[in-house]
A and B are shown apart, each in its own frame.
Chain A
Amino acid sequence: MKNRGLAFKLVALILSGTAAVFLTAFSYYYRCSEKSVMANVEKNTRNLAHSTVHEIETVLMGVEKPARNFATLLSMGRQETDDVARYTECISSSNPEIFGTAISFEPYAMDRQSYYFLDYCYREADGRLARTRLGSDSYDYFTLDWYQIPKVLDRATWSEPYFDEGGGNIMMATFSVPFYREMDGTREFQGIICVDISLLWLKNIVSALKVYQTGHAFLISRNGTFITHPYSSLIMGHTVFSVAEGSGDDSLRRIGQDMIRGGEGLVALEGNPLSRARAWMYYAPMSSTGWSLAIVIPEDELYSDIRRLGRQVILIGLGGLLLMSVLIVVIANRITKPLRSLACSTVDIARGNLDTELPGIRTGDEIGRLTASFASMRVALKEYITNLTETTAAKEKYESELKIARSIQMSFLPKRFPPIAEKGNFEIFARLEPAREIGGDLYDFSLLDDDHIFFAVGDVSDKGIPAALFMAVVKTLMKGIAEAGMEPSEILKKTNVELCRDNDSMMFVTVFCGVLDLKTGSLRYSNAGHDPPIIIRRDRGTEWLAVPDGLVLGAMEESDYETKEIELRPGDKILVYTDGVTEAMSPGKELYSEVRLMEAVKSSSSDSAEKLTLEIMDAVVEFASGAPQSDDITVLALTFGSPKGPLVAQ
Chain B
Amino acid sequence: MLLWLRAMHRAVFITLLLSTVALPLMSLTGGAELHAKDLEKISFIPQWEPQAQFAGYYVAYEKGLYKAQGLEVTMLRGGPGKPSAGMLAGGGADFATMFLSTGIQERARGAPLINIAQVMRRSGFLLITRKSSGIDTPRDMEGKKIGLWGAELRLQPTAFLKKYDVHVKIVPQCYTINLFLRGGVDIASAMLYNEYHTVLNAGVNPEDLVVFSLADYGINFPEDGLYCLEKTYKQNPATCCRFVLASLQGWKYAFEHPEEALDIVMKYVNEANIATNRQHQKWMLDHMRELIYPSDTITPAGELSESDYTAVARELKAGGLIDGIPSFSDFFVNCVRADEK
Contacts and interface: CB of A to CB of B under 8 A. Distances in A.
Contact of A142 (B3, B172, B278): B172
Given A120-B1, A167-B6, A242 B279 contact: yes
A21 interface: no
Nearest to A146: B1
A236 interface: yes
A172 B2 contact: yes
Contacts of A194: 1
B277 A238 contact: yes
Contact of B202 (A100, A159, A224): A224
A12 B99 CA distance: 83
B178 A241 contact: no
Contacts of A260: 202-203
B4 interface: yes
Contacts of B18: none
B39 to A, nearest CB: 33
A256 B203 CA distance: 7
Contacts of B203: 223-224, 239-241, 253, 256-257, 260
B201 A153 contact: no
B1 A144 contact: yes
B277 A144 contact: no
B109 to A, nearest CB: 16
A225 B205 CA distance: 16
Given A239-B201, A241-B202, A166 B2 contact: yes
B171 A148 contact: yes
B300 interface: no
A148 B2 contact: no
Contact of B176 (A99, A145, A253, A257): A145
Given A167-B6, A237-B277, A224 B201 contact: yes
A245 interface: yes
A138 B8 CA distance: 8
A165 interface: yes
A152 B6 contact: no
Interface stretch (B70-78, B181-189, B224-232, B288-296): B181-189
Nearest to A166: B6
Given A145-B179, A148-B174, A240-B203, A163 B275 contact: yes
Given A162-B275, A163-B275, A143 B183 contact: no
A242 B3 contact: no
A242 B198 CA distance: 9
A242 B184 contact: no
Contacts of A172: 2-3
Contacts of A152: 145, 171, 179, 184-185
Interface in B1-32: 1-9
A497 interface: no
A55 B185 CA distance: 33
B252 interface: no
Centre residue among A120, A148, A164 by max chain B CB count within 10 A: A148
Contacts of A237: 275-277
Contacts of B5: 120, 132, 134, 139, 166
A256 B204 CA distance: 10
A79 to B, nearest CB: 21
Among B7, B178, B276, B277, the one with the most A-chain Cβ atoms within 10 Å of its Cβ is B277
A174 interface: yes
A92 interface: no
A631 B19 CA distance: 145
Contacts of A144: 1, 4, 174-175
Given A148-B171, A148-B184, A163 B273 contact: yes
Contacts of A164: 2-3, 6
B237 interface: no
Given A166-B2, A260-B203, A145 B276 contact: no
Interface string A127-154: 0000010100011011111101100110
Interface string B199-217: 0111101000000000000
A242 B280 contact: yes
Interface string A212-242: 0000000000111100000000001111111
Contacts of B6: 164-167
Contact of B2 (A100, A223, A245): A100
Contacts of B9: 166
Nearest to B274: A237
Given A237-B277, A260-B203, A100 B1 contact: yes
B1 A174 contact: yes
Nearest to A241: B201
B157 interface: no
B7 A165 contact: yes
A135 to B, nearest CB: 11
A122 B2 contact: yes
Interface string B155-198: 00000000000000001111110110111110000000000000
A153 B1 contact: no
A224 B201 CA distance: 8
A147 B182 CA distance: 14
B150 interface: yes
A192 to B, nearest CB: 10
A246 interface: yes
- Most chain B CB neighbours (cut-off 10 Å) among A143, A164, A260: A143
A441 interface: no
Interface of A: 99-100, 102, 120, 122, 132, 134, 138-139, 141-146, 148-149, 152-153, 157, 159-160, 162-167, 169, 172, 174, 194, 196, 222-225, 236-242, 245-246, 253, 256-257, 260
The 8 closest A-B pairs by CB, nearest first: A166-B6, A143-B174, A152-B184, A223-B202, A143-B172, A242-B279, A241-B201, A236-B275
20 contacts: A139-B8, A145-B175, A148-B174, A149-B179, A149-B184, A152-B171, A152-B184, A153-B182, A153-B183, A153-B184, A159-B178, A160-B176, A166-B6, A167-B2, A194-B1, A242-B280, A245-B200, A245-B279, A256-B203, A257-B205
Given A141-B4, A163-B273, 13 more contacts: A144-B175, A152-B179, A153-B183, A162-B3, A164-B2, A165-B7, A166-B5, A166-B6, A172-B3, A225-B275, A237-B276, A245-B200, A257-B203
